Amino acid sequence: MEGSFIDPINMEKIIEPVTALKIKKNLERIDAELSLKFITENENSKYTEWEENKRLNRNFIDKGLDSVVIDRLTFCFKEEEVYSTNFFFLFHHNLYFTIPYIVCKNSKYKGACLIITEKSYDIEMLKKTSKNLGVEIEFIILDSKGNYLRKSKAMIKSGYALFILVDTPFGFNRKTIKKFDYNEKLFGLKYRDGYIKISKILNQSPVLLINDYNFENKIVTTSYKISTSDEVNKIFCARVLSEPEKFEKLNDFMQLFDFKMKNKTVNFYIDENQYFYNPIDKRLFLKQM
């Protein structure tokens, strides 16, 4: 078969950005599907909770007020803590996608606004969620020039609640997290330092929100008042150690538990070009058409 091999890690150097992003999404999907298949085939039931949470988040996005989440679950949180700020931190954890809606429904906030990266998968989801829930949900793109800060200030002034996911980059594996000392600098801490700086510029005291299940189909949104990035790291690492199956990032989750991958080559198409990918050796091949 004629064609050429592509380095998935450095492909942005030789492939235009839009195509490279499409390829990356396909590779992540393949890794996720194959590793999830390993989980379910081996009946590691305690690891399937992540996929169930993902399904419920998707259902919430697609169905809105008619979703399983809204129909079957009730939510509660400490209003005095949550309503004390307009700036919230989130983790890719449990039913995190419901939190902006839960906080902004019947509250003082005009709507929810998520601060995300330009390559985020959440942009189209946000548009769909806003339509299906009938609430105002906006987004602001992080940029190197700092325009997002000006836009964030304007959104707060307009009465919006701002949300930002602060658990990425994931940044550690099974060995390093076990040895992790909360007083040391963890990979990714510099990003969380940045989030704290944003809160200070916005003159807001951030609150970290995490959904936890309770009895009788109740979701308790636990709130943590945050003043330093070390506080975020401590909560994050404690959660990952105690309940890793609740975190959404499956590629990192897979590495955390050393999931096995089958030696199987998978193909996909992008713009009429056919690619072949082997998840074991991470080899990507472009077939000559």
The tens digit of pLDDT for each residue in 164-191 reads 988 764 444 444 444 443 333 443 445 5
Eight-state DSSP code of residue 105: T
Residue 48 lies in a domain: no
Judge if 146 and 223 occupy the same domain.
yes
Judge if 244 and 269 occupy the same domain.
no
169: cis peptide before it, omega within 30°? yes
Q: Over range 204-212, report the average pLDDT.
A: 94
Residue 55 lies in a domain: no
Number of domains in the chain: 2
Query: How many C-beta neighbours within 10 Å does residue 30 have?
Result: 18
Judge if 266 and 224 occupy the same domain.
no
Residue 8 lies in a domain: yes
Residue 263 lies in a domain: yes
Judge if 215 and 179 occupy the same domain.
yes
Beta bridge partners of 161: 112
**What is the structure's pLDDT at 44?**
47
Judge if 229 and 190 occupy the same domain.
yes
More confident residue, 210 or 174: 210
What is the residue range of 159's domain? 80-248
**What is the structure's pLDDT at 173?**
43
Judge if 185 and 236 occupy the same domain.
yes
Q: Is the pLDDT of residue 94 over 50?
A: yes
Most trustworthy range by pLDDT among 43-52, 90-99, 175-184, 236-245: 90-99
Q: Is the pLDDT of residue 36 over 80?
A: no
Judge if 180 and 279 occupy the same domain.
no
Measured distance CA(37)–CA(39) in Å, rounded: 5
**What is the structure's pLDDT at 73?**
83
More confident residue, 238 or 169: 238
**What is the structure's pLDDT at 245?**
72
Model confidence band, residue 255 (pLDDT cutoffs 50, 70, 90): very low
Judge if 155 and 278 occupy the same domain.
no
Q: Residue 212 sits in a domain of what CATH number?
A: 3.40.50
Residue 62 lies in a domain: no
**What is the structure's pLDDT at 257?**
43
Residue 232 lies in a domain: yes
Q: Whose CA is closest to 284, among 16, 20, 17?
A: 20
Residue 53 lies in a domain: no
Judge if 184 and 154 occupy the same domain.
yes
Measured distance CA(275)–CA(12) in Å, rounded: 16
The tens digit of pLDDT for each residue in 144-162 reads 788 899 999 999 999 999 9
Enter the tokens of residue 255: 């590495």
Residue 208 lies in a domain: yes
Enter the tokens of residue 60: 């919430």
CB-CB contact of 284 with 26 (8 Å): no
Q: Over range 79-92, report the average pLDDT.
A: 92
Judge if 21 and 133 occupy the same domain.
no
Global pTM? 0.66
Burial of 67 (0-12, 13-18, 19+ CB in 10 A): buried
Judge if 283 and 229 occupy the same domain.
no
Judge if 180 and 116 occupy the same domain.
yes
**What is the structure's pLDDT at 172?**
43
